[in-house]
Structure 1
Amino acid sequence: MLACGVAVATTSFAGGSPAAGTVQLLLFVVLAVLLSPLPFPRSSGDAAAEDGADDGRPVVYWRPGCPYCLRLRARLGRDARLLSWVNIWSDPAGAAVVRAAAGGNETVPTVVVRGQAFVNPDPGWLQARLRAIG
């Protein structure tokens, strides 16, 4: 995404339009941040997440580019590393869990706590749940 932004902006700069090039580059940078999986902790597979969930740790099913997932991740801050994260675009079993919880849709974030699924929960609720666990 960033490479495309640089290419488009370079074309605008070369064409004598630095303002348009700057706007285009900024747009591509924003899109790269929104679509990137980098802000999220390393995804574990569904099986590994479920194994870790035995201790009561919530499992968050997410996908890159989801604004609600980004909101949840941002609100959790450092506490996000206490959760198990499963990217449903790279884990078919995780996608199946989400579809089962969300009536056939892949609505994320879906959080599973002790076997109970919560679709797009309030970040404050999840923070309180984390404090209760440990």
Structure 2
Amino acid sequence: MPSYIIENGEKGRWPEELIIHTDGACRGNPGPSSIGIVFSRLDLETVYEYAETIGSQTNNFAEYFAVKKAFEIALSQQVLSVHLKSDSQLLIRQLTGEYKVKSEGLMPLYLDCRSLVQKFKRVQFEHVRRE
């Protein structure tokens, strides 16, 4: 399956603090997967949108991959603080240390995300319900 990337928004100066919504999805589990990310100012004005197909993965892999990509993009734009919102309760609870990561397949992504967190001045995690 070929990879597709869609990007929409600013490539100029971004604010130092952002709200980031991430989501990962797959058809079947595992199955064809994709991620979506929306970067917003604190007033909720969208700065940038990113979507990518990531091949056949599990839903949890896709959720983690979305967060990793979001952090990488934010850091590349010199963002200092992020408020990350995700509908994956498992992901949020693992990244905040409330749950342990038991899946060997997720551990490398988890460690990458935790390493990226250290590069920000501040990261806030929030679980948001699916609507």
TM-score, L = length of structure 1: 0.26
Q: Which has the larger radius of gyration?
A: 1
* Richer in strand (by share): 2
TM-score, L = length of structure 2: 0.26
Structure with larger RCO (C-alpha < 8 A, sep 6+): 2
* Richer in helix (by share): 1
